[in-house]
């Protein structure tokens, strides 16, 4: 049995808080019997020659191999094609997509370079697992170089209906490149169905048979997260928050500042709730924790301005000398502190306009106190809504419905909260991230031994 080679645009370098996140830990677990993790360092190379140099770091029996990108790569491959063409299209936002031939050329150039340099490090019996939209053509490039290894792909974000996919100028070429994979994993059955329909629309069924495509809903480290949350109330940030609330109810939103997350719409729904239920004024606080992301992309600059403006407008309209309705923070928070904030919150507001899975919804549930759990208000357009059936499901575009769900959540009696929470927690306990990882790898290679995360 060869090693597992994981490839993703982001590689945990030990520097970012995301390094301790569910995905990083899950994949580290998958690599526990020895493996390689390959991708972008997150750094910029001073020139083209420097972008050819691999930097490797060994951590236990895992080798992390990373490459820098040039300024031009960053512009064309990362900000351009990945985040201004593919990201909006795959999230159903044709209106926000920007298509430029040079961005596509840069995307292919980086995928080719990654393939060339990765091929030198791969052994013939290694299994390769490629992640996310930045690296769709990577397997085809590896095949061109003669690699015959098993190669799987997992898309962390949604796959839209065939008509939306067809708006991408290179849709047919890029779709054909999936031929090089032995297994294509998507988040939900809906995404898998859309993908299979896109293949059929292009008449590519012979190249990409439906048997190669399946849903593998990603999850979190449920047990570990729940354990962290159970003591997280002592974290200084959680204590500070509890004091500042002065007995008020708390609703929480935690998202990257991305237009797919529907943060502005969510604030609008909260405003509608305050309008509809005057008795709630002064008695509830909505905390939105939102680190900035991809700030050089114009659509992200725009959303930053919009969200700040909406928060200001609602606070201006409803706030009082001793009560600010929306607490808005642009920062990342350490995992232990985040778990503490989730646990304090009476309501988790997770209302993306479109999301592949949304792990925040799962983390919120895992962090709750069984004796007094909070209520999850969840968008029906998040992949997690297919599993989190105890949530109050909402259409995030519908202010009245979402405002009514907020009202219902804040007033929900304990026995109903517990009944809803138990079912969701049980689902997360039996379908954690280890289960996701193992079911993908077993489907890719049925003879692979089952791995356990080293504890
Ligand atoms: P996405 O992958 O689109 O950002 P997810 O909800 O699936 O959305 O995953 C986001 C991850 O990032 C979660 O693990 C969440 O805890 C983490 N995260 C989001 N916002 C913050 C924040 N402000 N501080 C720390 N971690 C955060
Ligand atoms: C989503 C994507 C990931 C990406 C992450 C953060 O979760 O699916 O591939 O790494 O967002 O975005 P960033 O652009 O900072 O890597």
Q: Give nearest CA residue, ligand 2 atom 8.
A: 156
- What does the pLDDT read at residue 304? 96
User: Annotated catalytic sites, by residue?
Assistant: 156, 355
**Do the Cβ atoms of 7 and 38 come closer than 8 Å?**
yes
The mean per-residue pLDDT over the stretch 64-89 comes to: 97
- What does the pLDDT read at residue 452? 56
In the chain the first and final C-alpha atoms are separated, in Å, by: 23
**How remote is the C-alpha of 235 from its chain's centroid?**
25
Fold match between domain 4-219+433-444 and domain 222-430: yes
- What does the pLDDT read at residue 29? 78
Q: Which residues, in sequence order, are bridge partners of residue 127?
A: 4
Angle made by CA atoms 287, 290, 295, in degrees to the nearest 5: 155
Alpha-carbon distance of 282 to 111, in angstroms, equals: 53
Chain segment 401-423, per-residue pLDDT in tens: 999 999 999 999 999 999 999 99
The mean per-residue pLDDT over the stretch 192-197 comes to: 98
Nearest atom (ligand 2) to Cα of 133: 9
**How remote is the C-alpha of 28 from its chain's centroid?**
17
3-state SS track over the chain: CCCEEEEEEECCCCCCHHHHCHHHHHHHHHCCCCEEEEEEEEEECCCCCHHHCCEEEEECCEEEEEEEECHHHHHHHHHHHHHHHHHHHHCCCHHHCCCCHHHHHHHHHHHHHHHHHHHCCCCCCCEEEEECHHHCCHHHHHHHCCCCCCEEEECCCCCCCHHHHCCCCCHHHHHHHHHHCCEEEECCHHHHHHHHHHHHHCCCCCCCCHHHEEECCCCCCHHHHHHHHHHHHHCHHHHHHHHHHCCCEEEEEECCCCHHHCHHHHHHHHHHHHHHCHHHCCCEEEEEECCCCCCCCHHHHHHHHHHHHHHHHHHHHHCECCECCEEEECCCCCHHHHHHHHHHCCEEEECCCCECCCHHHHHHHHCCCCCCCCEEEEECCEHHHHCCCCCEEECCCCHHHHHHHHHHHHHCCHHHHHHHHHHHHHHHHHCCHHHHHHHHHHHHCCCCCCCCCCC
**Do the Cβ atoms of 316 and 361 come closer than 8 Å?**
no
**How remote is the C-alpha of 64 from its chain's centroid?**
22
Does residue 32 have its Cβ closer than 6 Å to ligand 2? no
Alpha-carbon distance of 28 to 38, in angstroms, equals: 12
Query: Is the pLDDT assigned to residue 25 strictly greater than 80?
Result: no
Q: Is the dihedral of CA 242, 245, 249, 254 positive or negative?
A: negative
> 222-430 has which fold?
Rossmann fold (3.40.50)
Query: Is the pLDDT assigned to residue 16 strictly greater than 90?
Result: no
Q: How far is the CA of 93 from the centre of ligand 2 (A)?
A: 17
Does residue 261 have its Cβ closer than 6 Å to ligand 2? no
Query: Is the pLDDT assigned to residue 455 strictly greater than 50?
Result: no
Q: 31 pLDDT band (50/70/90 cuts)? A: confident
Q: Is the dihedral of CA 151, 67, 82, 304 positive or negative?
A: positive
* Ligand with minimal distance to 359 CA: 1
- What does the pLDDT read at residue 451? 62
**Do the Cβ atoms of 177 and 199 come closer than 8 Å?**
no
Q: How far is the CA of 228 from the centre of ligand 2 (A)?
A: 24
The contacts found for 225-229 with CB under 8 angstroms, 24 or more apart, are 225/22, 225/339, 225/363, 225/366, 225/367, 226/366, 226/367, 226/425, 228/335, 228/336, 228/339, 229/339, 229/340, 229/342, 229/343, 229/366, 229/367, 229/368
Q: Is the dihedral of CA 12, 133, 384, 29 positive or negative?
A: negative
Query: Is the pLDDT assigned to residue 226 strictly greater than 60?
Result: yes
Q: How far is the CA of 255 from the centre of ligand 1 (A)?
A: 6
CB atoms within 10 A of CB 394: 25
Task: Give me the chain's average pLDDT, please.
Answer: 94
Share of the chain above pLDDT 70, in %: 96
CB atoms within 10 A of CB 144: 14
Best mutation site among 6, 22, 91, 132 for ligand 2, i.e. most ligand atoms within 8 A of its Cβ? Answer: 132
- What does the pLDDT read at residue 19? 55
From 261, 230, 220, select the one nearest 339 (Cα to Cα). 230
Query: Is the pLDDT assigned to residue 15 strictly greater than 60?
Result: no
- What does the pLDDT read at residue 23? 73
Does residue 266 have its Cβ closer than 6 Å to ligand 2? no
Nearest atom (ligand 2) to Cα of 156: 8
Q: Which residues, in sequence order, are bridge partners of residue 56?
A: 65
* Ligand with minimal distance to 260 CA: 1
Best mutation site among 26, 255, 328 for ligand 1, i.e. most ligand atoms within 8 A of its Cβ? Answer: 255
- What does the pLDDT read at residue 20? 53
Q: Are strands 213-215 and 326-329 parallel, antiparallel or unpaired?
A: unpaired
Q: 18 pLDDT band (50/70/90 cuts)? A: low
Alpha-carbon distance of 168 to 341, in angstroms, equals: 40
Chain segment 360-398, per-residue pLDDT in tens: 999 999 999 999 999 999 999 999 999 999 999 999 999
- What does the pLDDT read at residue 60? 87
Alpha-carbon distance of 73 to 77, in angstroms, equals: 5
* Ligand with minimal distance to 221 CA: 1
Alpha-carbon distance of 236 to 386, in angstroms, equals: 35
Chain segment 294-348, per-residue pLDDT in tens: 999 999 999 999 999 999 999 999 999 999 999 999 999 999 999 999 999 999 9
Does residue 214 have its Cβ closer than 6 Å to ligand 1? no
Q: 26 pLDDT band (50/70/90 cuts)? A: confident
What are the residue ranges spanned by the domains of the chain?
Answer: 4-219+433-444, 222-430
Query: Is the pLDDT assigned to residue 120 strictly greater than 60?
Result: yes
The mean per-residue pLDDT over the stretch 19-36 comes to: 76
Nearest atom (ligand 2) to Cα of 157: 8
Q: Is 3.40.50.300 the CATH number for 4-219+433-444?
A: no
Chain segment 420-453, per-residue pLDDT in tens: 999 999 999 999 999 999 999 999 998 877 665 4
Query: Is the pLDDT assigned to residue 136 strictly greater than 70?
Result: yes
**Do the Cβ atoms of 249 and 220 come closer than 8 Å?**
no
Query: Is the pLDDT assigned to residue 133 strictly greater than 70?
Result: yes
């Amino acid at each position: 049995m060869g090693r597992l080679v994981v490839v993703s645009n982001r590689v945990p370098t030990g520097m970012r808080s995301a390094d301790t996140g569910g995905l990083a830990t899950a994949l580290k677990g998958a690599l526990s019997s020895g493996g390689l993790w390959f991708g972008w360092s997150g750094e910029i190379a001073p020139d083209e020659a420097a972008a050819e140099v691999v930097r490797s770091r060994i951590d236990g029996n895992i080798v992390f191999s990373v490459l820098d990108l040039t300024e031009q790569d960053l512009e064309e491959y990362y900000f351009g094609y990945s985040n201004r063409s593919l990201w909006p299209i795959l999230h159903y936002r044709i209106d926000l997509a920007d298509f430029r031939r040079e961005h596509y050329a840069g995307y292919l150039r980086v995928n080719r370079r990654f393939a060339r340099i990765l091929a030198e490090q791969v052994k013939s019996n290694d299994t390769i697992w490629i992640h996310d939209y930045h690296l769709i053509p990577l397997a085809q490039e590896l095949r061109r170089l003669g690699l015959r290894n098993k190669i799987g792909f997992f898309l962390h974000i949604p796959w839209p209906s065939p008509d939306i996919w067809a708006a991408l100028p290179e849709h047919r070429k890029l779709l054909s490149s999936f031929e090089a994979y032995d297994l294509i994993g998507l988040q939900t059955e809906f995404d898998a169905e859309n993908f299979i329909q896109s293949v059929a629309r292009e008449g590519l069924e012979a190249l990409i048979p439906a048997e190669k495509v399946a849903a593998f809903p990603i999850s979190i480290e449920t047990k570990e997260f729940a354990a962290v949350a159970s003591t997280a109330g002592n974290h200084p940030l959680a204590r500070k928050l509890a004091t500042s609330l002065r007995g008020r109810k708390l609703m929480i939103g935690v998202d990257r500042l991305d237009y797919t997350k529907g943060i502005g719409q969510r604030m609008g729904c909260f405003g509608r709730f305050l309008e509809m239920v005057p008795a709630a004024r002064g008695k509830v606080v909505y905390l939105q924790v939102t680190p900035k992301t991809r700030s050089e992309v114009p659509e992200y600059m725009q959303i930053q301005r919009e969200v700040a403006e909406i928060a200001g407008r609602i606070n201006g309209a409803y706030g009082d000398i001793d009560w600010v309705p929306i607490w808005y923070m642009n920062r990342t928070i350490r995992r232990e502190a985040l778990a503490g904030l989730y646990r304090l919150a009476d309501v988790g507001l997770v209302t993306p306009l479109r999301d592949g899975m949304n792990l925040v919804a799962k983390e919120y549930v895992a962090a709750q106190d069984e004796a007094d759990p909070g209520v999850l208000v969840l968008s029906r357009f998040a992949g997690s809504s297919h599993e989190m059936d105890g949530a109050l499901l909402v259409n995030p575009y519908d202010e009245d419905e979402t405002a009514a769900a907020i009202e219902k959540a804040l007033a929900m009696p304990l026995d109903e909260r517990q009944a809803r929470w138990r079912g969701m927690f049980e689902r997360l306990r039996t379908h954690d991230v280890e289960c996701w990882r193992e079911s993908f790898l077993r489907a890719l290679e049925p003879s692979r031994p089952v791995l356990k995360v080293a504890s």
